[in-house]
């Protein structure tokens, strides 16, 4: 009996282009949403691509997002810093989760329960980190390692 290599979540999704589509659809929804618009309407044009690179990397894709930060304070530190003092509310966090889930459906991310469980686990973790670090007075820890997300408890059903 031979072992089959378990693909990364990135490989399961397909490629970086899929993550770019996901983030484009999500940001279009966020900008159009009255609750999230104040957080997203001022983002520079390249921001969407940076977030797509972040998502691709944390799910096992190439280190395109983190490469520029390897010699400095780190990619995760940079991401945390971007959320400082934003004052994100729990209601906004929940809407972010819902719109990201809707965007995942819209771009046809894999719908199998194992993938979606891992995807939603990251989205929950990430939004809760953003909520925490957006509070007044929070500081971004230096040299925080880049998070990488995998299948969790259940590998993909093949």
pLDDT at 65: 85
The pLDDT of residue 1 is 45
Q: What is the pLDDT of residue 100?
A: 98
pLDDT of res. 71: 53
How far apart are alpha carbons 64 and 59 in whole angstroms?
A: 12
What pTM was computed for the model?
0.89
The answer as to whether 126 is a domain residue is yes
pLDDT of res. 66? 82
145 belongs to a structural domain = no
CATH number of the domain bearing residue 56: 1.10.490.10
- If one counts the domains in the chain, the total is 1
Minimal CA–CA distance to 131: which of 79, 75, 92? Answer: 92
Give the pLDDT means over successive 10-residue stretches in the chain (158 positions).
79 95 97 96 91 95 84 72 89 98 98 95 94 91 83 66
Residue 35 lies in a domain: yes
């Amino acid at each position: 009996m031979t072992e089959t290599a378990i693909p990364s979540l990135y490989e399961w999704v397909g490629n970086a282009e899929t993550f770019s589509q996901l983030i484009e659809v999500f940001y279009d929804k966020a900008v159009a949403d009255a609750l999230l618009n104040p957080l997203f309407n001022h983002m520079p044009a390249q921001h969407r691509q940076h977030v797509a690179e972040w998502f691709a990397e944390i799910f096992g894709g190439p280190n395109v997002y983190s490469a520029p930060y390897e010699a400095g304070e780190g990619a995760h530190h940079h991401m945390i810093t971007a959320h400082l003092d934003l004052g994100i509310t729990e209601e906004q966090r929940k809407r972010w989760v819902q719109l990201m889930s809707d965007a995942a459906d819209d771009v046809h991310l894999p719908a199998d329960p194992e993938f979606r469980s891992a995807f939603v686990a990251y989205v929950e973790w990430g939004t809760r980190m953003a909520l925490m670090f957006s509070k007044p007075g929070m500081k971004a820890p230096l040299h925080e390692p880049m998070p990488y997300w995998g299948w969790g408890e259940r590998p993909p059903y093949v």
